[in-house]
Amino acid sequence: MRRMRNERGPESAVPTPATLPASGPAAASPYPPPEPSPKPPTPPESSPAPPPACGAPPAARRRTPRSRRRAAVLVAGLAAGASLAAGACDAGAQPRADASAAPPGEALRTKGCMVTEKLIPTCGAWWGIAPEVFTGRSPAVALERAERRMGRKAAILHVYHRGGELFPTREEREVARSRLLLINWKPSLTHSWAEIAAGRVDKRIDRLAKHIRRHFPKRFFLTIHHEPENDVRPRPGSGRTARDYAAMFRHVVTRLRERGVTNAVFVMTYMGAPNWASRPWFGELYPGDDVVDWVALDPYADGRVRDFAGFVDKTRPDYPNWPGFYKWMQARFPGKPIMVAEWGVFEHPADPHRKERLFTSAARQIHRYPQIKALVYFDSPRAPRGDTRFDTTPGARRAFMELARSPHFTATRVP
């Protein structure tokens, strides 16, 4: 979400295309489709053999040769959602443990749950927050306050950088001792995407790479220019076409890797709005599987959203060809984890129980979306379109705390 303007734009002014953006390879998804029931489907015959159960003895995994073990960990990460839907990776023996039973700030852990090289938790999903945004507080102070408010420690801290800023900062590095960082970076506010792809800010990228190599060896999430949809200028030669964005993203990732940044897990972050996803150039934004590790969306609750399903699979009658973001991502990226990199519920004076209702629905429905491996809330009293703080009413705070302390979000330990 950005400060100065409505991210979602004039939705009613966008024409509806005749067809959806082209889908990806016709590969079988390792994740089940969203269903009303959390019961996992039987994997297709072409799927890889299932990994050991989450509670399998660690010694059995240690005997696996290194290359095969890495493959097993990746398969486990992709299959974790399906097993969680059936309660296979629960905290203890119960697949539906009472979220309220977790002591404040204490995470329930599951034996055998792992984290892959691309930071995919094999059990459940990461719980994260962009804390107290637009308050002027430093990330560490804002995070400490937010964690106290929600009654648990966050697995992911979401922070924002732009231009020539070097990151992670010293403060962010300290926070990351026991958490994961999700860093949102816009390489330039003055150069076009085409100019960045052509190398105009390479010195800036090189300086950042040197900083990361010197100061931060830990793995972290990095998204490049999030929510690009409403920055696209489709006119050829504008320097900001969808293809220019894809070229810019690819250039930045490649340059960082060539300069020795091997610990960044790259995230492509979409808005998650049907009007932008229905543009004819939308499919051209994607820079390629080899430079994208996770895909993400940033949905917010407008008046049409009634529950968590409405966040992640938002549809609209005026865009009848759009199936919803989660469904589209499953078809387009069957092998990639999905992150909800921002989500928020705006305060609505006419509906004081709205936040409580939506947070409660998230706790009830999250198991229907096993490909979602991280959920990161955008907490701000002054977001561009309203107040997204999660604790503006006692009921909202209680529902949010119960969601945050659910075994689904505490099963895997932060590396």
Cα separation, 104 vs 100, whole angstroms: 9
Name which residue leads in pLDDT, 337 or 12.
Answer: 337
Judged against a pLDDT cut of 80, whether residue 42 lies above it is answered with no
Continuous segment of H or E residues that includes residue 159: strand 156-162
pLDDT category, 10, cuts 50, 70, 90?
very low
Q: Is-contact 141 159, C-beta < 8 A?
A: no
DSSP assignments along 258-323, one per residue: HTT--SEEEEEEE---HHHHTSTTGGGG---GGG-SEEEE--EE-TT--SHHHHHT---TTSTT--
pLDDT category, 367, cuts 50, 70, 90?
very high
Name which residue leads in pLDDT, 326 or 51.
Answer: 326
| Least confident among 39-53, 106-120, 235-249, 368-382 | 39-53
The yes or no reply on domain 50-409 and CATH 3.60.15.10 is no
What percent of the chain has pLDDT above 90? 71
Angle between helices 242-258 and 202-215 (to 10 degrees): 40
What is the pLDDT averaged over residues 404-408? 97
What is the pLDDT averaged over residues 69-87? 42
pLDDT category, 326, cuts 50, 70, 90?
very high
Report the first-to-last Cα separation within the chain, whole angstroms: 28
pLDDT category, 110, cuts 50, 70, 90?
low
| Least confident among 105-109, 141-145, 283-287 | 105-109
pLDDT per residue over 271-299, tens digit each?
999 999 999 999 999 999 999 999 999 99
Token pair 């648990």 is found at: 152
Judged against a pLDDT cut of 70, whether residue 38 lies above it is answered with no
Name which residue leads in pLDDT, 149 or 73.
Answer: 149
pLDDT category, 1, cuts 50, 70, 90?
low
Judged against a pLDDT cut of 50, whether residue 39 lies above it is answered with no
Q: Is-contact 411 110, C-beta < 8 A?
A: yes
Judged against a pLDDT cut of 60, whether residue 3 lies above it is answered with no
Q: Where are the domains of the chain?
A: 50-409
Judged against a pLDDT cut of 50, whether residue 5 lies above it is answered with no
